[in-house]
Amino acid sequence: MDSSQAVFKGLKKAGIDFVVSLPCVNLDKILEMVEDDPDIIHVPVTREEEGFGISAGAYLGGKKTAILMQNSGLGNSVNVLASLYKLYQLPILMIMSHRGTEGEFMSAQIPMGEATPGVLDALEIAYFLPKTPDEAFKLIPEAWLMAEMAGSPLAMLFEVKFWEF
Amino acid sequence: MERIKAIEIISTQLEDELVICNIGFPSRELYAVRDSSAHFYMLGSMGMASSIGLGLALAQKRKVVVFDGDGSLLMNLGSLVTIFSQSPENFILVVLDNECYGSTGSQCTYASNVDLSRVAEAVGFKKIFSFKDNIDFSEVLNTKGPVFVHVKVEPGNADVPVIDMEPEEIKTRFRENL
């Protein structure tokens, strides 16, 4: 099981049936798997903030929701996470490619990469850091349950090294 | 026409539809005119009304009516592209356009320079209604979506109280309605 398969199988095991996405080079294979799955509604969006809005509506409509995104998109989603998700206690699973971490080849990714955990902390959004495909597969369903029980977004940060598996 | 009047005319014609209502005075005005468990009142996240409505329309079969504003639509214009591309038949986007940020003191928006219906048309929307003095919403309800409804209204807010419901109560009541 490679890293992409592990994340996708974890999402399936969690019962996720509604996914919004923006791409990252590391999410490429997962995006294809999500798009091809007949039981998942997949909505590519123009901006992460918009994706969070769409997912909130889908959750109100009874869906189990996740967003596939690069950590850079966290920056333009801060208000929707606070004044929609935190305010109304809505869950969502945030599958984030965490760029700017060990092994990053692009210096431009480093500032937002370093800021990402602090932004999540400021929003009081808990996050997991799975290091291997096995860990990811095990943690994703648990993370969704925690998000649903807590009525809060929950993030999974997948660092650059994770995608080497 | 005052915005509260437009909200009243439209909302009293709704039966089984689900409603997502924009942050600020629009939600307060809808709540004052007619409350329902099928209403989701936004208390934050300006710009997200059309997106929340799109997700709701894609997630289930009931018809969804969104009350959006010109300022908030301009904040999330990409939403029109996503709505058109996903093309849910059960989706009606009502833009109550007063050409200003009404809830913050009526500062002008660019909607006085830009015709938002023409923006929707350029994106590809096929079903566009424009109203000013009269609103015939029954025809809108009989049209296969996605529908873009542009209603020009006067600036200003009605003298209505704040919504005396907790956010979680608004959410839970709405989800239980489904």
CB atoms within 10 A of CB B95: 28
pLDDT in tens, B51-67: 999 999 999 999 999 99
pTM of the model: 0.98
B53 in contact with chain A, both atoms CB, cutoff 8 A: yes
Phi and psi at B162, nearest 5°, equal -70, 160
Which among A59, A87, A90 is the nearest to B43, CB-wise? A87
Looking at residue A144, its pLDDT comes to: 98
How is B42-102 classified by DSSP, letter by letter? --S-TT-HHHHHHHHHHHSSS-EEEEEEHHHHHHTTHHHHHHHHH--TTEEEEEEE-SEEG
A89 in contact with chain B, both atoms CB, cutoff 8 A: yes
Token readout for B102 is 């009404």
Please calculate the CA angle B47-A84-B144 and round it to the nearest 5 degrees: 55
Min Cα separation A161/chain B (Å): 33
Looking at residue B127, its pLDDT comes to: 98
Looking at residue A26, its pLDDT comes to: 97
Interface of A with B in 127-146 (CB under 8 A): none
Closest CA to A30 of A17, A19, A15: A19
Please calculate the CA angle A159-A88-B71 and round it to the nearest 5 degrees: 90
Give the Cα separation of A18 and A127 in Å (integer).
20
pLDDT in single tens digits along all 178 residues of chain B:
999 999 999 999 999 999 999 999 999 999 999 999 999 999 999 999 999 999 999 999 999 999 999 999 999 999 999 999 999 999 999 999 999 999 899 999 999 999 999 999 999 999 999 999 999 999 999 999 999 999 999 999 999 999 999 999 999 999 998 8
Token readout for B42 is 């936004």
Domain residue extents for chain A: 3-164
Q: Strands, DSSP E only, in chain A?
A: 18-21, 41-44, 65-70, 92-98, 127-128, 153-159
CA distances A95 to A4, A83, A92, B24, B36, Å, are 11, 20, 10, 32, 35
Test A57 with B178 for CB contact under 8 angstroms: no
Token readout for B72 is 């908030």
B44 in contact with chain A, both atoms CB, cutoff 8 A: yes
Token readout for B56 is 């709701």
Give the Cα separation of B21 and B23 in Å (integer).
7
Domain residue extents for chain B: 3-177
pLDDT in tens, A40-74: 999 999 999 999 999 999 999 999 999 999 999 99
**Interface ipTM above 0.90:** yes
We find that the CATH architecture of domain B3-177 is 3-Layer(aba) Sandwich (3.40)
Specify whether the CB–CB gap between A7 and A140 falls below 8 A.
Answer: yes
Per CATH, the number for A3-164 is: 3.40.50.970
Nearest CA in chain A to B167: A88
B90 in contact with chain A, both atoms CB, cutoff 8 A: no
Looking at residue A61, its pLDDT comes to: 98
Looking at residue B78, its pLDDT comes to: 98
Question: For A93-106, what is the mean pLDDT?
Answer: 96
Looking at residue A142, its pLDDT comes to: 98
Give the Cα separation of A92 and A146 in Å (integer).
10
B79 in contact with chain A, both atoms CB, cutoff 8 A: yes
B146 in contact with chain A, both atoms CB, cutoff 8 A: no
pLDDT in tens, A5-34: 999 999 999 999 999 999 999 999 999 999
